[in-house]
Amino acid sequence: MLAEKLKGKRRVFLDTNAVIYYVEENSTYLPLLDPLFKMVADGQFIALSSYVTLLEVLVGPLKGGRPDIAQAYRDLLLNAEGFEFFPLDREVAEEAARLRAAQNFRTPDAIQLATARRHGADAFITNDKGFKRFVDMEVLVLNDCLKPGTP
C-alpha cells in the first residue's frame, strides 16, 4: 500500500522512525518498508533525510553498546545509493523556526519538515501522526498504510 502511494514521486523524505524500523527489521513495518527501500535501490525515487535522523538513530545503539547497529545506520544513511542527506543550514533553520512559530512543531520535527520542503520532497514518510497537520506536502503515516488487522 505504501509503495503504491509513492509511485510517481521523485524525492521522498524518510523520518527517523521509518529508518529505525527498516534497519532493525521491525516485523510490523518491514512489509511496508522493504518495497520502499527496493524502490530507492532501483532508482525509482531518491530518499532524503537529515542529520537529525542520524543523531536520533544512533542514540539507541550507542546506549546499548551496539556499534554494529550504529554502523548499519551510518552505512544506510551516508553511503547507500539513492540517498541524499542534508545538514542543518541557515535556510532550514529559518524555515524550521517559522514552522515552530506557526504550527508549534517540536524543534527536531520542524527541522525534519523544513529540510524536506527545502530539498524538494514530494512526500514525507513517518509514523508520527502529528506530522499530518503539515499540509505543504503529502505526509504518509506508516500505521495508516498497514493492512487492516495488522498489529
pLDDT digits (tens, 9 = 90+) for 31-52: 999 999 999 999 999 999 999 9
Residue 56 and residue 66 in one domain:
yes
Same-domain status, 132 and 96: yes
The grid cell for 68 is: 554494529
Span 37-96, pLDDT tens digits: 999 999 999 999 999 999 999 999 999 999 999 999 999 999 999 999 999 999 999 999
Q: Is 42 exposed, middle or buried (0-12, 13-18, 19+ CB in 10 A)?
A: exposed
Joined together, the cell numbers standing for residue 77 give 544513511
Type of residue at 136: D
36 in a structural domain: no
Return the closest-CA partner of residue 70 out of 83, 86, 57, 81.
57
Confidence of residue 148 (pLDDT cuts 50, 70, 90): confident
Containing structural domain, residue 51: 19-25+45-87
Q: Are residues 112 and 128 in the same domain?
A: yes
Residues 83, 107 share a domain: no
Last residue of some domain: 69, 87, 105? 87
Report the pLDDT value the prediction gives residue 150, as an integer from 0 to 100: 57
DSSP state, 26? -
pLDDT of residue 130: 94
Q: What is the mean pLDDT of residues 2-18?
A: 94
Please check whether residue 9 lies inside any domain of the structure. Answer: no
The answer as to whether 33 is a domain residue is no
Average pLDDT over residues 109-138: 96
Q: Which residues does residue 13 pair with via DSSP β-bridges, in sequence order? A: 48, 124
pTM for this structure? 0.93
Q: Is residue 32 part of a domain?
A: no
Cβ neighbours of residue 114 closer than 8 Å, sequence gap 6 or more = 92, 93, 95, 96, 98, 99
Task: Determine the pLDDT at residue 147.
Answer: 78
Same domain, 97 and 136: yes
Is 102 found in the same domain as 71? no
For Cα atoms 30, 68, 146, give the angle at the middle one, nearest 5 degrees. Answer: 10
Asked if 33 contacts 140 with a C-beta cutoff of 8 angstroms, the reply is no
In a domain, 54, yes or no: yes
pLDDT at residue 94, rounded to an integer: 98
Please indicate, yes or no, if residue 5 is contained in any of the structural domains.
no
Is 39 inside a domain boundary?
no
Q: How many separate domains does the chain show?
A: 2
Looking at the fold, whether 51 and 74 belong to one and the same domain comes out as yes
Mean pLDDT computed over 123-147: 95
CA angle 3, 19, 77 (to 5 degrees): 105
Region 120-127: what's the mean pLDDT?
97
